[in-house]
Amino acid sequence: MPVTDLTSPAAAPMGASRRWLLFALMTVGLWGVWGAFASVSAQRGFPETLVYCVWALTMVVPALIVLKREKWRLDRDPLSILYGLLIGLTGAGGQMVLFYAVTTGPAYLIFPIISLSPLVTILMSLVLLKERTTRLGALGVVLALIALPLFDFSPQGFSFSQGAAWFPLSLIIMLCWGVQAFFMKLANTRMRAESIFFYMMLSGLLLTPAAIAMTDFSKPINWGWDGPGLAAVIQILNAVGALFLVYAFRHGKAIVVAPLTNAGGPLVTAVIALLIVGVMPGELKMVGLALAFIAAALLASAP
């Protein structure tokens, strides 16, 4: 009896309808664990900009593994290369802009704005791909979009006296990541998922010189194993989660996959923080977690 390839769009119809959910949940799990420990490297003296470089290198490992599995077949036609680099550069480029944005404005307002990137994906998918879902699925999308900003929002006073550059930068990041997810779905209709991830990896590596240039080497940097070594262990979770996200978009609707993965990851992160560190979320975050849980359940049941 032949073994079904879970990543192949031509697999048996019975499993095909829910295959997106399997990959989406694996993304949620990996990103949830990654999110719980993502700040550890910086706390131990390894700058975020260099963490980015480590992340770009960890992308190489899963990219080569899945390419080898595909017998090194890489989509090289101009449109595939364009889609692949567009997906990679909007993702990695958004991260580069984020490094600068958090130095110019309040993180408690920047991250809630960025978290609404699935809204961009959903609108583009509704208009351009004509994607639709059930009423329960639509309710899940709405609840997820409400929940996402609550994970990071803190009602603190702020002033524009230091400049408001952070606001348009936040919108640019939101747009970049929303567009990335849309084209991740669009590209999956004409090229291999493995090729998409390869170009994502390549784009990440291309921007490492920019991350290095943004690093302040005048400050002490932890070059020990709990610096870049620990960062690599943590960032491989991010990298593999990104690979599973590509597969989730391959088999599922963008209007469902985007909000589920974006809301599910922080939910897992919060649970881990509560169990391991004993950190009790604030009231707004508790509301966000409750809404995210309900949204995830509704989205998981959506076709």
pTM over 0.85: yes
Look-up of token digits 């997810």: 181
CA distance 37 to 31: 10
Beta carbons within 8 Å of 156's beta carbon, 6+ residues apart: 106, 108
Take residue 218 and report the two structure tokens written for it: 């005048």
What's the distance, CA 187 to chain centroid?
17
pLDDT at residue number 245: 96
Report residue 165 CA to chain centroid gap. 24
Buried b (16+ CB within 10 A) or exposed e, 205-243: bebbeebeebbeeeeeebeeeebbebbbebbbbbbbbbb
Computed on alpha carbons and rounded to an integer, the radius of gyration of the chain in Å comes to 19
* Cα 248–Cα 252–Cα 253 angle in degrees, nearest 5: 125
Residue 303: per-residue pLDDT? 62
Angle, helix 230-251 to helix 48-58, in steps of 10 degrees: 60
The pLDDT value recorded for residue 269 is: 85
What is the model's pLDDT at position 292?
Answer: 85
Instruction: Write down the pLDDT at residue 204.
Output: 95
pLDDT given for residue 276 in this prediction: 78
Structure token digits, residue 8 = 């192949």
For the chain, what percent of residues have pLDDT higher than 90? 58
What's the confidence (pLDDT) of residue 148?
85
Per-residue pLDDT, 237: 96
Helix, strand, coil abundance in the chain, percent, nearest 5: 75, 0, 25
Q: How far is CA 16 from CA 13, 19, 23, 187, 260, in A?
A: 5, 5, 12, 18, 18
Question: Is residue 30 within 8 Å of 239, Cβ to Cβ?
Answer: no
pLDDT of residue 4: 39
* C-alpha span between 200 and 87 (Å, rounded): 6
CA neighbor of 298 nearest in space, from 133, 121, 112, 118: 133
All residue ranges of the chain with pLDDT < 50 are 1-14, 160-161
Query: Which pLDDT score, from 0 to 100, does residue 290 have?
Result: 87
pLDDT digits (tens, 9 = 90+) for 192-243: 999 999 999 999 999 999 999 999 999 999 999 999 999 999 999 999 999 9
User: What whole-number distance in Å separates Cα of residue 141 and Cα of residue 152?
Assistant: 19
Structure tokens at 222: 């932890």
Q: What is the per-residue pLDDT for 112?
A: 84
